[in-house]
Amino acid sequence: MTDFLRLAEDIAREAGDMILAKRPTMSEDVETKSSPTDVVTILDKASEELIRERVRAARPDDRFLGEEGGEEGGEAPGASDVRWIVDPIDGTVNFLYGLPDWAVSIAVEVDGQVVAGVVNLPARGEVFTAALGEGAWLGGERLRCNSGVPLARALVATGFGYSAPRREVQGRVVAEVLPRVRDIRRGGSCAIDLCSVAAGRVDAYYERGTNPWDYAAAGLVATESGARLGGLRGRPVGPEFTLCAAPGLFEELHDLLVPLDPERDS
Ligand code: IPD
Ligand code: CA
Ligand code: CA
């Protein structure tokens, strides 16, 4: 597990350094994906390519899931039970606007369970790490999420998808949440939002429509800090819904959200 974490951290740092070094000249190259506001830059692709190459060189049999290039490996009989789950830049819109909250996110999953996670924030000089059963860390500092915070005093992070109909629902849901909590934050990176729960920078995070590459690494950082991570109505975390907070606040926020039916898209 420590070997996985070390390798993931080395690769996430190398990708982050590459992005920072190339950024001034290359970041204007932008294409769109699922909607006109869902962007990908040349550096998202270059970062994923670098990470794929490094993983392939070190662990040629492992499977790989990256946001930009999809699934790789796993077809052959006896394929590795190890899968790398990668978001080469989480928070691309922040990246595009010169805001510092974007991250390289790398998780290592064994037999379907995430055992190591790294979230590197190059523009902030921060690297969050976690290994299953061994805690969550920001550099040398062990992380514990905030506990004992009642819903009415909770600072709650959330995010919005890229499709307009989904956003309309998300706007209606957040309008019901806002008057019942301390305040809302929309940071622009799911991975950083989850790490922020771990570091006590927010008390909770929820969002509909995130993907494994968004939450795999940071989800482990959050749970290793003592937070609960899941979906609604006892389901595991997934694209339907991501909810994360210390136990107690998790249940309070869950019970506020469920009647708002936040998993619909119109
Ligand atoms: C997005 C960010 C954002 C979240 C979106 C994600 P991307 O990832 O994590 O905070 O609200 O749901 O898709 O596109 O920047 O990699
Ligand atoms: Ca993402
Ligand atoms: Ca991304």
- Dump pLDDT digits (tens) for 117-157: 999 999 999 999 999 999 999 999 999 999 999 999 999 99
If one compares 40 and 53, the residue with the highest pLDDT of the two is: 53
- In short, whether 188's Cβ falls inside 6 Å of ligand 1 is yes
**Would you state the pLDDT for residue 79?**
75
Residue with tokens 């919005």: 160
* Euclidean distance between CA atoms 34 and 193, whole angstroms: 22
Q: Which segments of the chain are extended strands (E)? A: 30-32, 39-41, 63-66, 70-72, 82-90, 103-110, 113-121, 126-131, 136-138, 141-142, 155-158, 183-185, 204-207, 228-230, 242-245
CA atoms within 13 A on the CB side of 256: 22
Which amino acid residue places its CA nearest to atom 16 of ligand 1?
90
| Pairing of β 204-207 and β 242-245 | antiparallel
Q: CA dist 44 to 13, 16, 22, 116, 138, Å?
A: 15, 11, 11, 22, 24
- Nearest-atom number in ligand 1 for the CA of 39 is 14
Residue 226 DSSP label: T
Pick the closest to residue 133 from 223, 218, 3, 8 (CA basis). Answer: 223
**Would you state the pLDDT for residue 40?**
79
**Would you state the pLDDT for residue 35?**
79
Q: What is the CATH number of domain 151-260?
A: 3.40.190.80
Pick the closest to residue 247 from 155, 146, 136, 153 (CA basis). Answer: 146
- In short, whether 161's Cβ falls inside 6 Å of ligand 1 is yes
Question: Does residue 107 register a pLDDT over 60?
Answer: yes
Q: How many CB atoms lie within 10 A of CB 29?
A: 11
- In short, whether 90's Cβ falls inside 6 Å of ligand 1 is yes
- In short, whether 210's Cβ falls inside 6 Å of ligand 1 is yes
Task: Give the domain ranges of the chain.
Answer: 2-142, 151-260
Q: CA dist 94 to 40, 89, 175, 189, Å?
A: 12, 10, 23, 8
Q: CA dist 221 to 34, 79, 175, 206, 263, Å?
A: 28, 27, 29, 16, 25
- In short, whether 209's Cβ falls inside 6 Å of ligand 1 is yes
Q: CA dist 128 to 9, 13, 105, 219, Å?
A: 9, 11, 10, 11
**Would you state the pLDDT for residue 77?**
66
Percent of the chain residues topping a pLDDT of 90: 88
Ligand nearest to the CA of 92: 1
Total residues belonging to the chain: 266
DSSP string, 64-94: EEETTTEEES--STT--SEEEEEEEEE-HHH
Token duo for residue 46: 């270059």
Indicate the average pLDDT of the chain: 95
Ligand nearest to the CA of 157: 1
Q: Quick check: 103 and 19 in contact, CB under 8 A?
A: no
* Euclidean distance between CA atoms 61 and 79, whole angstroms: 7
Which amino acid residue places its CA nearest to atom 11 of ligand 1?
159
- Nearest-atom number in ligand 1 for the CA of 40 is 14
User: Taking the chain, what is the end-to-end CA distance rounded to the nearest angstrom?
Assistant: 42
* Euclidean distance between CA atoms 3 and 62, whole angstroms: 14
Q: Which CATH class is domain 2-142?
A: alpha beta
- 23-38, pLDDT tens digit by residue? 866 556 788 888 787 7
- Nearest-atom number in ligand 1 for the CA of 159 is 11
**Would you state the pLDDT for residue 129?**
98
